[in-house]
Chains A and B, each alone.
Chain A
Amino acid sequence: MANLESDFAGIKSPNPFWLASAPPTNTGYQVMNAFKAGWGGAVWKTLGQPIVNVSSRYGALAYKNNKMMGLNNIELITDRSLEINLQEMKEVKEKFPHHALIASMMFETKEEWHDCIKRCEDIGVDGFELNYGCPHGMCERGMGSAVGQNPDVCEKITSWVTEKATKPVIVKLTPNITDITKPALAAQRGGASAVSLINTINSVTGINLDTMEPNPSVAGLSTHGGYCGPAVKPIALNMVSELTKHPDFKLPISGIGGVETWQDAVEFFLMGASTVQVCTAVMHYGFKIVTDLTEGTNEYLDSHNMKSIADLRGIVANKLKKWEELDLNYKVIAHIDPEKCIGCQLCYIACEDGAHQSIALVPGNRIPVIKEDHCVGCNLCSLVCPVENCISMVKIETGKPKLLWKDHPKNPSKQASKV
């Protein structure tokens, strides 16, 4: 059995699976149930000046049978008083001294930040997370993503916190920005010990076509909300990889965004995260899913003869290159396993109408045939095929050496230099 114990920028937890700051960490009751179920840490629902919430608050993107492949919310930070939150956080820490309890915070003035840091440290939190991410409600007041989107402000506020805090400080980044490395480096300059990403993405999930009201409807009106859940994982993975690969960025990363299964978690680790945080999957299925997260991760580590998450961390990030660095002479073509084929012909129509007309039908046979000399190796057919391992992409030995774009005959700048 691998060792899943985690030390994230000095914050220790029994495993790297934390609850993200969100409704599942609203109360001590929930966090204690989560720890009992096996979660290693929890980032408390963001503390700040009192707010009020609207009703309703969430919208979802359903896809086929999956009711919530993307979730969006127009909720703000905690709607409970700081006193009550601190009281419950204290109880959690007393009952679960070895689990990680992190205070998420969002304030306006330096004094407010300092006051909350002191009170949180007094009750024994293990670290802080600065919410620079919320894309709605709070940014209009100059907080949340308004901070995360402006590297100078991000650096300044981070330094306010780090000058006071004795516990590790994590800066939570907003994805609503073109270059994620800018605020991350600003956080590093501001003295942060780690970053976490992503917070939610600006979004509107849809419109109720009967009432012609946007979702979620608040008396017929709505506002743009924060998008999360399985649908956002690809965006989060890319952003995590950008930080892992950046030569000047040195801080540990807590990966967030669409983690639901152990596979998702392992992907974040491979991309460079040291812990992962989960919100939507718990809002959908409850705390229990952590069993599969820990067990599946453990199993994966064992099957790769790895001892801990550290052995996985970041080893795939460096396989993400600039397009120019990819070998243009590498070639794959599709292969259909006739034994497995069920004759749905989805691959045929996808390639015929949506790609490169490289799949043929044979009269009298439901099983399509790949036109090998046409196939460009785009993957589309293998992606639409409903049968596992039926269409595989087979490497073709071209016998040609690696060829990069800079050396490609079609590269205009190369042709220019030839003249």
Chain B
Amino acid sequence: MTKILKKSNTKAEEINKFSKIKPLLSQNEAVIEASRCLFCHDAPCINACPTSIDIPMFIRQIITKNIKGSAKTILTQNILGKACGQVCPTEVLCEGACVYNEMNEKPIDIGRLQAFATDHVIKNNIRLFTKGKPTGKKVAVVGGGPAGLSCAHELTRLGHEVVVYEANSSAGGLNTYGVAPYKYTNKDSQEEVKYISEIGFEIKANNRLDTKKLSELEKKYDAIFLAVGLGKSNKLNISGENLKGVYGAAEFIHELREKEQKITVGKNIIVIGAGNTAIDAAVETSKLNADVTVVYRRTEKEQRAYFFEVDLAKQNGIKFMYLTTPLEIIGKEKVEALKCIKNKLIEKNGSKPEIEPIKGSEFIIPCEMIIAAVGQEKMTDFYKEISNLKIDNGKIVVNKDFQTSNPQYFAGGDCVNGGKEVVNAVSHGRDAARGIDKFLKG
């Protein structure tokens, strides 16, 4: 073969380090992939999807080129179906459940098929849902992330008047300011938010609600849905944390997303923690040409990041330093190094092994930047101001209708589950809308 034909869907877009790792499928690719689907009965993929999308059905509709119908099948269950198609950890959700895995065959590329079908209706602004018959009831949604948007959309379909209050200058929540840009871009997120809100609810951006505003809302609205997500990044609680060059992962990624990756970072970067956010921060900075080391107290076995995320990090040349605890950040004004100590794990009859520092094993890694990715705070200060709101471990407590202990308030998403995936937030939002509807009509 003398001439190699290399075709790519990203032809139109400029290929760069932040190009999509799961690019959109063309119709041709989508139909070929869809044709592999067996149309299982009581399909395991449906059960594995937190929003229970009828996956075999939407795939069948792609085969019959009923792309609009396919998108409707998806969006009826999950109005953020496009984002989910691109950001969901499908390897552990739908695709992980595909029966093809049982015969060591590649599972159906469900996420990308989902993104393909939903992109069609978003790009062409094909409207699938309409505002319900007005009920005369008003609902305020606090937070315009996946949970808030999903709830607002469903409430609007049910005929309620909805206003979404969003602190940031644009909505989308972590789809806009959190998830990795090689999964979902600002433009993707903004287009999706616009498409969703055009059913007929208002988004008031740049509107961070405080106690005063909240008590006004209580008078104006029949119900309030809290979808505020999580708070700031947790501190490391070691000395030197206030030096220049030390970032919390959530704040760093927020800035990166806001500036669309047009930021400069240090040459040597240490990311502390080994959850999915840590991996994201590591991969993103390595794509900005940094040498990145992930430092984690325990071992590969205990790290919370998904195996495929760790693989991605390794492909990007990121080094992992396990059994290492940071002790102190060294530097005058700016970070210069991180002092660490080596650990060993002590097994204690079945329970999680305990960390024991190895005396005298301290060492220093020079670096210009440190990103702390050791979890996020909960918005407890904000919750305190709401009367009678029951909180457990920083998470808002709700019943099966997503109603809180203060009957006017409902809640869902990360602020209820403590931080899971976009798809879980969408599912909460949708079901909470039905709970609110029941409450308002009740």
Contact = CB atoms under 8 A, between A and B. Distances in A.
Given A292-B57, A292-B61, A366-B3, A388 B31 contact: yes
A263 B3 contact: no
A296 B28 contact: no
Contacts of B57: 288, 291-292
B113 to A, nearest CB: 15
B5 interface: yes
B60 A388 contact: no
Contacts of B378: none
A352 interface: no
B3 A388 contact: no
Contacts of A387: 28
Interface stretch (B64-72, B353-361, B432-440): B64-72
Interface in B47-78: 57, 60-61, 63-66, 68-69, 72-73
A76 B95 CA distance: 42
A247 interface: no
A262 interface: yes
Interface residues of A, number: 23
Contacts, number: 54
A261 B28 contact: no
Interface in B155-206: none
B60 A289 contact: yes
Contacts of B68: 299
A399 interface: no
A419 B310 CA distance: 87
A343 to B, nearest CB: 4
Secondary structure class of chain A's binding surface, majority of residues? mixed
Interface string B22-35: 00000110010001
B41 interface: yes
A286 interface: yes
A274 B346 CA distance: 76
A35 to B, nearest CB: 18
Contacts of A342: 5, 7
For A295, A296, A367, the residue with the greatest tally of chain B CB atoms inside 10 Å of its CB is A295
B64 A263 contact: yes
A369 to B, nearest CB: 13
A299 B121 CA distance: 14
Nearest to B1: A366
Contacts of A263: 64-65
A286 B57 CA distance: 12
Interface residues of B, number: 23
A220 interface: no
A262 B63 CA distance: 11
Contacts of B27: 388
Contact of B66 (A292, A341, A367): A292
Contacts of A291: 57, 69, 73
A109 interface: no
A389 B35 CA distance: 18
A343 B72 CA distance: 36
A262 B64 contact: yes
B232 interface: no
Given A261-B64, A292-B61, A388-B28, A365 B3 contact: yes
A262 B61 CA distance: 10
Contacts of B73: 291
A262 B72 CA distance: 16
Interface string A309-346: 00000000000000000000000000000000111000
A65 interface: yes
Contact of B69 (A65, A288, A292, A363): A292
A288 B60 CA distance: 11
B2 A365 contact: yes
A65 B3 CA distance: 31
B66 A262 contact: yes
A412 interface: no
B307 interface: no
Nearest to A293: B64
Contacts of B31: 388
Given A291-B57, A296-B64, A299-B68, 11 more contacts: A261-B63, A261-B64, A285-B60, A292-B61, A295-B61, A296-B66, A343-B1, A364-B3, A365-B2, A367-B3, A367-B5
The 8 closest A-B pairs by CB, nearest first: A295-B69, A296-B66, A261-B64, A343-B5, A364-B2, A388-B28, A285-B39, A365-B3
22 contacts: A261-B63, A261-B64, A263-B64, A289-B60, A291-B57, A291-B69, A291-B73, A292-B57, A292-B69, A295-B66, A295-B72, A296-B64, A296-B66, A296-B69, A343-B5, A364-B3, A365-B2, A366-B2, A367-B3, A367-B5, A388-B27, A388-B28
Interface of B: 1-3, 5, 7, 27-28, 31, 35-36, 39, 41, 57, 60-61, 63-66, 68-69, 72-73
Interface of A: 65, 261-263, 285-286, 288-289, 291-292, 295-296, 299, 341-343, 363-367, 387-388
